């Protein structure tokens, strides 16, 4: 069963070039950033994508190491990064679903006459209604 949330420790290393981020339990998950705000955002996104890939590949998800057992190199700061997985999983779903809509015949005729792409119009309207960009 896949978790709804995952929380993993990360180590933030600050230097003049930015912030390097390391997840001790997840080799290969190494985002970076230019600011602290960006570091938290990038760490969460990278963690979600990395764990989603592991889920998709059927890999065992390791238990997070306790922050008390992590001893970073000089200058490293241990932070907990939490990710909400349903949003990561849903973002990768690109399949389409069929919906039946009802509209007045005159509106359907006018749209057909102008070669309106009903699916695109509905998608655009839903995105606007839901404030999704």
pLDDT above 90 (res 89): no
**Whole-model pTM over 0.75:** no
Q: What distance in Å separates the CA atoms of residue 81 and residue 25, rounded to the nearest whole number?
A: 12
- pLDDT of residue 130 exceeding 70, the answer is yes
Q: Which segments of 27-117 does DSSP mark as H helices, in order? A: 36-57, 85-91, 105-113
Phi, psi of 20 (to 5 degrees): -95, 140
Query: pLDDT by residue (tens digit) across 5-15?
Result: 999 999 999 99
Q: Does the domain at residues 5-91 carry the CATH identifier 1.10.606.20?
A: no
* Residue 105: per-residue pLDDT: 85
């Amino acid at each position: 069963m896949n978790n709804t949330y995952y929380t993993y420790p990360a180590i933030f290393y600050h230097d003049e070039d930015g912030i390097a981020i390391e997840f001790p339990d997840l080799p290969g998950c190494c985002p970076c950033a230019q600011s602290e705000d960006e570091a938290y955002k990038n760490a969460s996104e990278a963690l979600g994508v990395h764990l989603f890939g592991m889920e998709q590949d059927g890999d065992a998800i390791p238990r997070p190491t306790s922050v008390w057992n992590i001893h970073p190199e000089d200058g490293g700061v241990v932070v907990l990064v939490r990710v909400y997985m349903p949003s990561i999983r849903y973002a990768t779903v690109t399949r389409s679903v069929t919906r039946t809509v009802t509209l007045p015949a005159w509106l359907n005729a006018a749209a057909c006459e102008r070669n309106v792409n009903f699916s695109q119009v509905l998608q655009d309207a839903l995105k606007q209604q839901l404030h999704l960009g």
